[in-house]
Structure 1
Amino acid sequence: MPIDTLNNIFPYLTYVVDRNCTASWKLDNRMGHYNIMFLYEGEARFERNDEVYIAKKGDFVFYRPNDIRKARTFPDRLMKCYAVDFLYTCVEFDKVEWKLKHCELPFKVVSTVSDPYLYSKLVDLFSSLSRLWMNNKQNNEVKSRSIFAEIIHLLLNYNECKSYSFSDARRAEEVINYLAKHYAERITLEDLSEKMQLSYSYLGSIFKKVTGKPIIEYLIHIRLYKAKELLRDGHSVSDVAYMTGFNDVFYFSKVFKKYENISPSQYRRENINK
């Protein structure tokens, strides 16, 4: 199932726990809700409808309503995990109104998160969610839903992702943040690769896989976005060219017209102070 059908997931959390199992811990019940467990230490034996699975650190375990769930840990490698019971729906805007739509989450019973960046990110999010839940304050409900929705989206993207790792995504995110902060300066791919401590070719390759655009083209879009903002504020075309890192009014005008299908001077006239 495509990820975009679950983009507007709206979870309702019924239980959150940071579980530190004892040797006698076990589960044996029929599920009345969805459940995700994310293991950050030890191992456990899980059953779903008589199918047996072994989960270890870095795995997440998923159950659906009406599943028969059995589980126990091992005395010499006691499981520690975050567990969330939840229900959910999805909302979809149909031109004039929002409608509820149910889409099944595509997770397997046991999936492994092998990417170290994603693992660390999930531990942080689950830890924050657990602390919010323990505080048991009414105004934490929206925050809790937001954190859990982010967890679901990270797992969905990881489940679908084939061409790059979350470590690559983190590096691309660092590049994007750098470009957004330093767009007005002279930026070269050589400087970026040195800053990221990656080869020029590898950095360019993973950035394009993650964003769909080469680094320089992405930088151009950032500069043009800022340029339009400055033009609307009334700055002159020549000033904007230098304020956004193009440093040449003729080159700026050429690039602006190529991507926006309008000259910067005309854009300024039509949009100033809007």
Structure 2
Amino acid sequence: MCDCRFDITYNDLNPTVLFVSKGRMTKNSRYHNHDFTEITFIMSGKGHYLVEGITYEVQAGDLLICNAGINHNNIVINDREPTFEFFAGFTDFHFKNMPANTVSLKNGDCIMHTDSKLRQELLKYCYAMLAENETNQVGKYFMIKAYLIQFLLLIIRQNTEPAPKQEGYHFDSHYKSDVVHQIISYLDAHYNEKISLDAIAQNMYLSSVYISKIFKDETGESPINYLIKIRLEKAKEMLLVTNADSIKKIANQVGYEDVYHFSKLFKKYYGMSPLHYRKSVE
């Protein structure tokens, strides 16, 4: 059997996690740097970042990577629309073909834009780390580290050429992570349809209570909240590119028959109605 532990690092991937947190961008921060790597994931909203004298526009789904010694600060551009950010600071790591304690993007930039699928995966780990950070469960530091490692590997995979396919055997697995992955894949593919957790559970020969529990254990949120976020993210994209469609039609296209319920959810998550959001980006 091939030992692939070092296919992406020079040694075991065992970063020291310094902090994880969530914040709302309410004012400009001071221009500063760190002696560790800090990642900032824009969870919602938009803003600007000044990094080494260059101003970057950021919005939901963007990832900012500031390695040690990189000067940066955030700039608020719209205090009416809340901008929420996830932060993580860490050190003691070394990826192949990168300097020690450095995450390098393939374009040489400090900003990484994500598509809808990757954004949802990264959000999943952000919420998992935040949820774990709020508990008093024994071993929470190591749980946070485990989630952060997975978060980092998703980033590295996007910025590294895939390794040659290895010969070997495929074994079916029934671990709870596989169950959760199947549920996420189903929600991603069928978000615009009527979805019943009971029906999913029956098809998987599991109870809906068990599915809800392991899903929250793995992602930090319920399947319903995960589905809502997928639908609302899709709706935001439609509001930007399909101006001819009514709010009711967009609501129907992402799985909501009741436009009032859709608008209420949208405002709850983004702080404004769908119509106001459409007008704000025109």
Normalising by structure 2, what TM-score?
0.49
Partner of 1:130: 130
> Can you list the C-alpha shifts for 1:82-121, whole angstroms capped at 9, x where unaligned?
11111122499xxxxxxxx93632233111011x222111
Partner of 1:66: 69
Partner of 2:215: none
Partners in 1 of 2:153 and 2:29 — Cα distance? Answer: 29
Q: Does structure 2 retain, via aligned residues, the 8 Å contact 1:58–1:113?
A: yes
Partner of 1:36: 39
**Unaligned stretches of 5+ residues in structure 2:** 1-5, 163-169, 175-188, 191-282
> Can you list the C-alpha shifts for 1:138-171, whole angstroms capped at 9, x where unaligned?
5111111110000000111122369xxxxxxxxx
Partners in 2 of 1:7 and 1:135 — Cα distance? Answer: 31
Partner of 1:120: 120
Q: What is the one-letter code of the residue matched to 1:156?
A: I
Q: In structure 2, the residue corresponding to 1:16 is in which secondary structure?
A: strand
Distance 1:180 1:78, change over 3 A: closer
Q: What is the one-letter code of the residue matched to 1:132?
A: E
Q: Which segments of structure 1 move beyond 6 Å, counting only runs of 4 or more?
A: none
**Unaligned stretches of 5+ residues in structure 1:** 93-100, 163-175, 182-195, 198-274
Partner of 1:158: 158
Q: Does structure 2 retain, via aligned residues, the 8 Å contact 1:44–1:78?
A: no
Q: What is the one-letter code of the residue matched to 1:154?
A: L
Q: Does structure 1 retain, via aligned residues, the 8 Å contact 2:67–2:101?
A: no
Q: Does structure 1 retain, via aligned residues, the 8 Å contact 2:91–2:101?
A: no
Distance 1:72 1:119, change over 3 A: same
Partner of 2:265: none
Partners in 1 of 2:39 and 2:95 — Cα distance? Answer: 21
Tell me if 1:144 matches 2:144.
Answer: yes
> Can you list the C-alpha shifts for 1:21-43, whole angstroms capped at 9, x where unaligned?
22x24242122211001112111
* Structure number with higher helix proportion: 1
By how many angstroms is 1:64 displaced? 0.9
Partner of 2:57: 54
Which protein is bigger by CA-based radius of gyration?
1
Partner of 2:84: 80
Q: Does structure 1 retain, via aligned residues, the 8 Å contact 2:45–2:84?
A: yes
Partners in 2 of 1:152 and 1:6 — Cα distance? Answer: 15
Tell me if 1:11 matches 2:9.
Answer: no
Distance 1:20 1:157, change over 3 A: same
* Structure number with higher strand proportion: 1
Distance 1:62 1:79, change over 3 A: same
Q: Does structure 1 retain, via aligned residues, the 8 Å contact 2:41–2:87?
A: yes
Q: What is the one-letter code of the residue matched to 1:106?
A: S
Distance 1:29 1:102, change over 3 A: closer
Normalising by structure 1, what TM-score?
0.50
How many percent identity over aligned positions?
A: 11
By how many angstroms is 1:134 displaced? 2.6
Q: What is the one-letter code of the residue matched to 1:109?
A: C
Q: What is the one-letter code of the residue matched to 1:111?
A: M
Q: Does structure 2 retain, via aligned residues, the 8 Å contact 1:3–1:157?
A: no
By how many angstroms is 1:6 displaced? 6.2
Q: Does structure 2 retain, via aligned residues, the 8 Å contact 1:39–1:58?
A: yes
Partners in 2 of 1:89 and 1:3 — Cα distance? Answer: 14
RMSD: 3.3
Match among 100, 103, 109 for residue 102 of structure 1:
100
By how many angstroms is 1:180 displaced? 6.3
Write the mapping of 1:121-270 to structure 2, written as runs, cut at 5 A: 121-135=121-135, 139-160=139-160
Q: Does structure 2 retain, via aligned residues, the 8 Å contact 1:16–1:133?
A: yes
By how many angstroms is 1:69 displaced? 1.3
Distance 1:137 1:157, change over 3 A: same
Q: Does structure 1 retain, via aligned residues, the 8 Å contact 2:65–2:103?
A: no
Partner of 2:112: 111
